[in-house]
Amino acid sequence: MVPEEQETCCRGAGAMHGPERPCCRRAGGGGGGALVEPAALAALLNRGAHGYDVRRAISELTGGELEVDAGGLYRVLRRLEAEGFVVSAWSEGDSGPQRRDYEITSEGRELAEDWLSHLRERQRVAGLLADVLSAALAPSKV
Partner DNA sequence: GCCCACTAGCTGCATCTCGCATATAGTGTT
Partner DNA sequence: AACACTATATGCGAGATGCAGCTAGTGGGC
> Looking at 3, 19, 29, 93, which residue binds a copy of itself (CB under 8 A)?
29
Shortest separation between residue 4's beta carbon and a copy of itself, angstroms: 18
Q: Does 6 bind a copy of itself (CB under 8 A)?
A: no
> Looking at 6, 64, 70, 132, which residue binds a copy of itself (CB under 8 A)?
132
Q: Which residues contact 38 (CB under 8 A, 6 or more apart)?
A: 112, 115, 116, 118, 119
Shortest separation between residue 20's beta carbon and DNA, angstroms: 13
Q: 112 touches which of a copy of itself, DNA, none (CB within 5 to 8 A by kind)?
A: a copy of itself
* Three-state secondary structure readout of 67-92: CCCHHHHHHHHHHHHHCCCEEEEEEC
Helix and strand numbers, DSSP H then E, in the chain: 5, 3
Shortest separation between residue 54's beta carbon and a copy of itself, angstroms: 12
What pairs with residue 99 in β-bridges?
91
Q: From CA 136, how far away is CA 142, in angstroms rounded?
A: 10
Q: Does 108 bind DNA (CB under 7 A)?
A: no
Q: From CA 106, how far away is CA 41, in angstroms rounded?
A: 12
CA atoms within 13 A on the CB side of 5: 2
Stretch that binds DNA, among 50-58, 104-112, 120-128, 129-137 (CB under 7 A): 50-58
Q: 71 touches which of a copy of itself, DNA, none (CB within 5 to 8 A by kind)?
A: DNA
The residues that touch DNA, with contacts defined as CB under 7 A, are 3, 8, 10-15, 22, 25-37, 50-53, 68-72, 74-78, 95-101
